[in-house]
Structure 1
Amino acid sequence: MTQDFAARPALPDPATAPELFDGLLTRRATAYLVDVVLMSVIVFAITLVGAILGFFTFGLAWVSLVFAVPAAIILYYAATLGSPRRATVGMQMMDIVLTPTRGQPLDGWMAVLHALVFWITIWICWPVTLLFALFTPRRQMIHDLIMGTLMVRRSPMLRHWQRMRMADQYDV
């Protein structure tokens, strides 16, 4: 075992563990659509409550919507990606999980920052962001590379890490 390996665990390789990346881009796109629908429902509910309360608060609730809507979206990502499951509701449905690659924990702040960089890169140039994933071996998008994360399928990943732990025990 080399010192470089000890500093950072080996990332899954598509050549040796293709099941981790099988259909990943399609799953990511579908998960994104599911999450957008869920966030739209949350935003609609907040907007409806804010619109009604605006009449009783002489418009103050309408002003608060400027802050409440982005806060709801940020909380959605923090509560889902920052949880021990490391996946939004859509990602859980599609059996994918976000994995850190730089040895840092994936907490709520990292999840929010990951989502923020995602939305910025999509907003700036979504075709390049999506095309980028087609040409990286691990199907990482620009925001994944910036943040040091990797998206893989969850159920095969659990089996992969168990195999890696077993191999490490026998290498010692």
Structure 2
Amino acid sequence: MTYAQSDRTGDPLADRRQPFDPFAEPERFEGVLPRRVIAFMIDVVILFIPVAAFAIFVFLFGIVTLGLGWGLYWLLGPASVVWALVYYGTTLGGPESATLGMRMVDLQMRTAHGAPSYFVLGAVHAVVFWVSVSALSPLVLLVCFFNHRKRLLHDILLGTVVINNEQRARRLRAAGFGY
């Protein structure tokens, strides 16, 4: 699969546009924002389950060791961060370019040039998201309403775009959903 816009549309002026132009390919962006929120909630649950299991294990281990095992609770924070970075890096950097939550709702992340994501970009994407939301308040998420590609602040900073995957875009095109 090539990532040149002109290969997808046959438009000779397409090389002047960015890949995944919402005006040339509106099916790529149809319903992305609400499904992105759902995908985020699914991913938070996926991240939470192993962390909660580890916390329960440390609690029970502390009871068995008469309180000495509770000293392992200091590992909970760093282990959570490492787990989140590995999760986002491997899933966004994998062949689907999508987390498990994004796969469930037919989304994928691409670079601004249309190429698939990779491990470091996936991990940095998560870090920049959490830092921007923590430092600037969740109001930074409103940026998506002021750009035509529906990108969030961290997407713009990293040069990524979240779109419908090929199967969903094909279904929308076939259904003629306003296109």
| Residue of structure 2 equivalent to 1:77 | 88
| Cα-Cα RMSD | 2.7
* Distance in 2 of aligned mates of 1:130 and 1:39: 21
* Distance in 2 of aligned mates of 1:48 and 1:31: 26
Distance 1:104 1:15, change over 3 A: closer
1:155 matched to 2:166? The reply is yes
Letter of the 2:54 counterpart: I
State how 1:114-133 maps to structure 2 within 5 Å. 114-133=125-144
State how 1:1-172 maps to structure 2 within 5 Å. 5=15, 10-54=18-62, 56=65, 58-102=69-113, 106-155=117-166
Structure with the larger RCO, 1 or 2 (CA within 8 Å, 6+ apart): 1
Distance 1:81 1:23, change over 3 A: same
SS in structure 2 at match of 1:99: strand
Deviations 1:126-155 (A, max 9, x none): 443221101110000000010010100002
| Residue of structure 2 equivalent to 1:164 | none
Tell me the TM-score normalised to structure 2 length.
Answer: 0.75
Tell me the TM-score normalised to structure 1 length.
Answer: 0.78
Distance 1:105 1:146, change over 3 A: same
Distance 1:31 1:100, change over 3 A: same
Distance 1:69 1:98, change over 3 A: same
SS in structure 1 at match of 2:38: helix
Structure 1 residues not aligned, in runs of 5+: 160-172
